[in-house]
Structure 1
Amino acid sequence: MTRCVLVVGFAGVQALDMVGPFDVFAGASMYAVAHGATGYDVRVVSVDGAAVDTGTGLALAAAPLPDPQEPVDTVVLPGGPGTEAARRDPALIDWITAVSPNARRVVSVCTGSVLAAEAGLLDGCVATTHWAYAAQMAVEFPAVTVDPDPIFVRSSPRVWTAAGVTAGIDLALSLVEDDLGTDAAQSVARYLVMYLRRPGGQTQFAAPVWMPRARRRPIREVQERIEAAPGEGHSIAELARRAAMSPRHFTRVFTAEVGEAPGSYVERVRTEAARRQLEETDDPVAAIAARCGFGSSETLRRNFVRRLGISPDAYRKTFA
């Protein structure tokens, strides 16, 4: 028997959240059939079988949601701007809740994690979602531990969560590899011109971090100095002197105003400066490290791996 994969659609869904996994499973099915193995029966479904309007002019035909008591291999929950309305649709959430015990696995993509959380599938679990919505999800679902960095996470034995948009393709390829083997997944990845295993986490793809502004002028002036000259020493004593405060009082006020300790803020500003220079210049990594205040290329490398999950050289190859 073929494995039934249901890709759930709703108004305002992100098209690639649906089409990406759909194409991976469909391509893997063709590979499996050609090699005498069991493939996938991939279907787009929606409440009442309504056509899925992605909000960008692309509409997808859909079949009605099947009986949730029938066994199913994989349920894919995509995200997108319409997720907020979809999570308040009782017909959809009740179906997700009812079908999950009968599915071998439930997969969320991007903000589709909100649908899984709304159905109670992520309580007590670690989950990921699009980096831009991770903080909001953590506030709205305190029973879920939200990790914004991984490309995808096995949140429970039966539930997987993928990060933003194209990460659904990464997860689908991984699931195909589990089902059909590395050769099948590699063949699909090669056809889609994709990594089978993408280097690094999704944080590396985020836009440069917005730096929060303090309300107090002395703290804002310290921030501006750090950002204008990230390569300077910026010791706590020096920063406190600029703000005309004692080091202890400065650290307390800065943390309260900005939301993180001065040392962490300096490191984040330096990381952003190094990111831009890796993207925009051909300068050696050692020179960038020195210019941005890291001192050595090894210190820069360790910082990049810790914060972005990727080395400076690999980051440059991807984004330069």
Structure 2
Amino acid sequence: MHRIGYLLADGFQMMGLANQTVYELANRALGQPFYTVQCHSLQGGLLSPTFGPAIQTRALSARSRADTWMVPGVIDPLGQPADPQLVQRLRQLAPHARRTVGLCTGAFVLADAGLLEGRRATTHWGFADALQRRHPGIAVEPDRLHIVDGPIWTSAGMTAALDLALAMVEKDLGAEVARRVAHSLVMHQQRSGGQSQHSEMLKLAPKSDRIQRVLEHVRGHLAQPLGVEELAEVANLSPRQFSRVFVAETGQSPAKAIEGLRLEAARLMIEKSRHPLEVVARENGFRDRRHLREAFLRGFGVPPRAARSEGRKAG
């Protein structure tokens, strides 16, 4: 049995508890309980989040034990600094755990406890610079979904905690159980820890269903040429109308948007697989590995092999 303990402070962010469903579904996939989950706080009793119902918690003591301690974040870790007593308690408990995890801005609590010193870590992109300034001994990587550095795990903001939880399930129970859990959660894909916090689809943010439909078509046919005429037909517009509407809604030309989606898909494939770069290039619409490398350098500032190496470190 793997015990997961959540360390909560008053005013915690409710999204930090959402990944408990990952462990529930992992138990169901196994057909038997493997994970147990308990919520803790300094005093115990009911604890209120920033929004939503109060949560019943157990009182923390120096003898409290968990295999994994999870520290959810708060909306503003600068305006709501961690309680020194909670920091001290975490410092005492972490050495007895298999893992200690900072979810979103929960990384600030781990940092204040000295658990991130000399380690790689991430947090919500909006507070990454502040974390780095406050704790210069941490190698803060603001553009990562989650990072594993020994027994310390940290995740980016909000939904990235689901990706981290799936990575934990994969580590504990194997890739097949993690895949089944992701499928139950209707997650399009399990994102690797090294993947960027910023999604190309979210960045484009089309305002109409027809352009959204075009982008979904692009993502499903990246290996094909994808000319303007084909995309205009998907949108039920003339090529000239389509190009004008696409730029107006996304702020990018169709060609630039397609390259961004291709690069995002190629990066994920590089990080999560051992496919040769020739295969990665072909399946994502690049002419060859040289074309992929040129686009990768232009888009990410590093060659594909460096991204593969970094993705393996993050995993």
CA gap of 1:44–1:286, structure 2 versus 1, over 3 A, is closer
- For residues 206 and 117 of structure 1, the distance between their equivalents in structure 2, rounded to whole angstroms, comes to 32
Map Cα deviations across residues 135-159 of structure 1 (whole Å, 9 max, x no partner).
111000111111101111112x211
Q: Which residue of 2 aligns with 1:178?
A: 171
SS of structure 1 residue aligned to 2:161: helix
Query: How many residues are treated as equivalent by the alignment?
Result: 229
TM-score norm. by structure 2 comes to: 0.64
Q: Which runs of 4+ in 1 moved over 6 A?
A: 205-208, 275-278, 286-289
Q: Which of residues 158, 162, 175 in structure 2 aligns to 1:169? A: 162
Residue identity matched to 2:4: V
Q: Which residue of 2 aligns with 1:13?
A: 12
By how many angstroms is 1:195 displaced? 4.3
TM-score norm. by structure 1 comes to: 0.63
Map Cα deviations across residues 191-225 of structure 1 (whole Å, 9 max, x no partner).
111145326311447997xxxxxxxxxxxxxxxxx
8 Å contact 2:74–2:80 — kept in the other structure? Answer: no
Q: Which of residues 54, 57, 66 in structure 2 aligns to 1:62? A: 57
8 Å contact 1:7–1:45 — kept in the other structure? Answer: yes
8 Å contact 1:10–1:86 — kept in the other structure? Answer: no
1:129-148 equivalences under 5 Å are 129-148=123-142
CA gap of 1:285–1:53, structure 2 versus 1, over 3 A, is same
CA RMSD, 1 decimal:
3.2
- Give % identity: 29
Q: Which of residues 257, 275, 283 in structure 1 aligns to 2:254? A: 283
State whether structure 2 residue 38 is matched by structure 1 residue 4. no
Q: Which residue of 2 aligns with 1:247?
A: none
State whether structure 2 residue 45 is matched by structure 1 residue 46. no
User: Looking at CA atoms only, which structure, 1 or 2, has the larger radius of gyration?
Assistant: 1
State whether structure 2 residue 105 is matched by structure 1 residue 111. yes
8 Å contact 2:14–2:52 — kept in the other structure? Answer: no
Greater shift, 107-116 or 3-12, is seen at 3-12
Residue identity matched to 2:127: Y
1:79-118 equivalences under 5 Å are 79-81=73-75, 83-84=77-78, 87-118=81-112
SS of structure 1 residue aligned to 2:5: strand
Unpaired stretches in structure 1, ≥5 consecutive residues: 209-274, 290-296, 310-320
Q: Which of residues 112, 117, 120 in structure 2 aligns to 1:126? A: 120
By how many angstroms is 1:176 displaced? 0.5
Q: Which residue of 2 aligns with 1:193?
A: 186
- For residues 68 and 112 of structure 1, the distance between their equivalents in structure 2, rounded to whole angstroms, comes to 20
Q: Which residue of 1 aligns with 2:23?
A: 25
